[in-house]
């Protein structure tokens, strides 16, 4: 893992630093080229100012009857002599320096006709060059130029003067120093950014390792609002979910073992009593053993259903059914037990409520809800069952008379082994899985189920299913 951290730090650092270095180097080269060309043009403009006399003499020597200075055309020597004779040396320079042409003016100067075609080409030419028009008057106000003189910048490795070369070297040195400072600053910034990015990643890696070891209580401090902060929030949410699931699993195992222990203890006591001759295998003893066995079977069946909560095996064959018909069959089956317990049942059904469902499972939901209402309704009591359609959903509700569970218990009624112990105690029977089974079956059909206090004083459980399966 440390090697991964180092590799990631290096990659981020190199990516940022290399990008910054490439940008700085590119900009430095472009600035250096622009500086060289701009400085060369600046020097050319300064040199062209000294050609006033040459331009005037060329204008005077222009013959309209024989345009293009035929005396100079094709004769580089005559052109060179003409330039030396009429070139104004810079301040402080004597004629000997002009004659020696240390700036190579004669080599870099060209004569062009009015169309820009060369009459005398420069022997030392470059891409950087400036023209000056040759006119009879200053500024060519009386007509088009007679021609042009064109001065080229010194070639590669040459300079107009030692001072000019010194100036350029100084500018290049300053530019190189600035680029070096920018590179150092960008490298430092890249290192700091890499560490800033890697710090939460290290914490996430450590948190993931902690979760993998089975410790779900640790959390990563949330101190960021960017994408990494969102990832930290998701990690903490995952840890919270795992912690909650782990606690629920431990509670599930504890409750399951406790629920299994009760009927098993009853069966064991009955069997040992029969073995010891304390009791006889009469009808009462066998009935108690059968009741314990049936309770154990129901509990095992409920556990099996809940184990398939998130699997397609929970729902079997889907078919086009009528919820009214299923509910009526469930009511008729439960009616003898309700009458024996002193509980009346009222039904309010429409003519028909078609839907696509697993008939056996939906019947099981209604049976569980009716048994739950019978078990937790005082005698004499009353149960009301209603069915209606709304917004493409088929709704079924079962209300009962007191007692009612505490309001704070309503959100937990569908949890496994949940009971409102104060009024709906374990003594009344049941495993605490009935409503959990109902929720699993209804949600597997794409429906919803919820509990609320009933206007009749007891509990109301309502579930809704789509009229047709997609």
Q: Which of 111, 131, 163 is the last residue of a domain?
A: 163
Answer whether 321's CB lies under 8 Å from 396's CB.
Answer: no
Of the candidates 276, 307, 338, which is a domain's last residue?
307
Residues 263 and 296 in one domain: yes
pTM of the model: 0.46
Domain holding 423: CATH number? 3.30.565.10
Residue 181 counted as domain residue = no
Q: Are residues 291 and 339 in the same domain?
A: no
Q: Who's near 16: CB < 8 A, 6+ residues apart?
A: 186, 189, 190, 193, 194
Share the mean pLDDT of the chain. Answer: 78
- Residues 335, 399, single domain; the answer is yes
Q: Which of 298, 287, 375 is nearest to 338 (CA)?
A: 375
Instruction: Give 40: exposed, middle or buried? Use CB within 10 Å, 0-12, 13-18, 19+.
Output: buried
Is 453 found in the same domain as 325? yes
Residue 401 inside a domain? The answer is: yes
- How remote is the C-alpha of 459 from its chain's centroid? 45
Residue 11 sits in the same domain as residue 143: yes
Per-residue pLDDT reduced to its tens digit, 393-412:
899 999 999 988 888 888 87
Domain that holds residue 274: 227-307
Listed residues 307, 337, 367: the one ending a domain: 307
Q: How many domains does the chain have?
A: 3
pLDDT of residue 26: 83
Which residues are paired to 386 by β-bridges?
Answer: 348, 397
In a domain, 174, yes or no: no
Q: What is the DSSP string of 38-82?
A: HHHHHHHHHHHGGGHHHHHHHHHH--TTS-S-TTTTT-HHHHHHH
Q: What is Dmax (Cα atoms) for the chain?
A: 153
> The dihedral of CA 340, 341, 343, 348: what is its sign?
negative
pLDDT at position 167, please? 66
Residues 47 and 150 both lie in one domain:
yes
**Confidence at residue 337, expressed as pLDDT on a 0 to 100 scale:** 87
Q: Is 222 part of any domain? A: no
Q: State yes or no: cis peptide before 110, omega within 30 of 0.
A: no
Nearest partner of 393 among 359, 368, 356, judged by Cα: 356
Whether 409 is covered by a domain: the verdict is yes
Q: For residues 44 and 87, state if they share a domain.
A: yes
Looking at the fold, whether 257 and 403 belong to one and the same domain comes out as: no
Q: What percent of the chain has pLDDT over 90?
A: 10
Is the domain of 51 the same as that of 150?
Answer: yes
Q: What is the DSSP string of 276-312?
A: HTSS---HHHHHHHHHHHHHHHHHHHHHHHHHTTTSG
Pairwise CA distance, residues 18 & 153, whole Å: 36
Residues 18 and 139 in one domain: yes
Write the pLDDT tens digit of every residue in 46-92: 777 788 888 888 888 887 777 778 888 777 888 888 888 887 655 54
Cα–Cα dist 381/396, whole Å = 20
d(CA 187, CA 64): 68
189 within domain boundaries: no
pLDDT single digits (tens) 100-147: 454 556 677 888 888 888 888 877 777 788 888 888 776 676 667 888
Q: Are 345 and 462 in a shared domain? A: yes
The answer to whether residue 19 is domain-embedded is yes
Question: Does residue 17 or residue 160 have the better pLDDT?
Answer: 17
CATH classification at residue 262: 1.10.287.130
Same domain, residue pair 289 and 324:
no
What was the pLDDT predicted at 70?
82
pLDDT of 384 higher than 90: yes
Q: Is residue 190 part of a domain?
A: no
């Amino acid at each position: 893992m440390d090697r991964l951290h180092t590799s990631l730090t290096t990659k981020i650092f190199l990516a940022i630093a290399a990008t910054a270095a490439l940008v700085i180097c590119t900009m430095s080269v472009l600035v250096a080229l622009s500086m060289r060309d701009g400085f060369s043009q600046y020097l050319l403009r300064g040199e062209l100012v000294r050609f006033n006399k040459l331009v005037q003499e060329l204008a005077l020597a222009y013959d309209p009857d024989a345009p293009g200075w035929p005396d100079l055309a094709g004769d580089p020597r005559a052109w060179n002599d003409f330039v030396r004779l009429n070139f104004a040396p810079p301040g402080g320079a004597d004629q000997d320096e002009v004659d020696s042409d240390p700036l190579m003016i004669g080599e870099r100067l060209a004569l062009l006709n009015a169309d820009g075609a060369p009459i005398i080409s420069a022997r030392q030419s470059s891409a950087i060059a400036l023209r000056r028009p040759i006119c009879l008057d200053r500024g060519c106000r009386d007509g088009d130029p007679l021609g042009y003189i064109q001065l080229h910048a010194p070639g590669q490795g040459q300079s107009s003067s030692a001072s000019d070369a010194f100036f350029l070297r100084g500018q290049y040195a300053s530019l190189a120093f600035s680029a070096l400072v920018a590179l150092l600053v960008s490298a430092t910034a890249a290192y700091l950014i890499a560490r800033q990015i890697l710090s939460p990643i290290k914490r996430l890696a450590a948190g993931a390792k902690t979760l993998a070891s089975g410790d779900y209580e640790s959390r990563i401090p949330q101190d960021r609002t960017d994408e990494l902060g969102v990832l930290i929030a998701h990690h903490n949410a995952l840890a919270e979910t795992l912690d909650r699931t782990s606690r629920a699993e431990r509670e599930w195992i504890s409750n399951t073992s406790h629920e299994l222990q009760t009927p098993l203890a009853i069966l064991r006591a009955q069997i040992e009593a029969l073995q010891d001759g304390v009791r006889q295998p009469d009808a009462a003893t066998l009935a108690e053993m059968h009741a314990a066995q049936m309770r154990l079977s129901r509990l095992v069946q409920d556990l099996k259903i809940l184990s398939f909560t998130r699997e397609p095996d929970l729902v079997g064959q889907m078919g086009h059914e009528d919820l009214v018909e299923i509910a009526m069959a469930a009511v008729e089956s439960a009616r003898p037990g309700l009458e024996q317990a002193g509980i009346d049942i009222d039904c309010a059904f429409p003519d028909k409520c078609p839907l696509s469902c697993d008939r056996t499972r939906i019947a099981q939901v209604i049976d569980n809800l009716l048994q739950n209402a019978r078990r937790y309704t005082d005698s004499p009591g009353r149960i009301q069952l209603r069915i209606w359609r709304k917004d493409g959903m088929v709704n079924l509700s079962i209300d009962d008379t007191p007692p009612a569970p505490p309001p704070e218990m309503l959100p937990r009624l569908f949890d496994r082994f949940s009971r409102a112990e104060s009024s709906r105690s374990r003594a009344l029977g049941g495993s605490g899985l009935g409503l959990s089974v109902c929720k699993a079956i209804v949600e597997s059909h794409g429906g919803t189920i919820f509990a609320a206090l009933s206007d009749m004083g007891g509990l109301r459980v309502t579930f809704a299913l789509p009229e047709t399966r997609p």
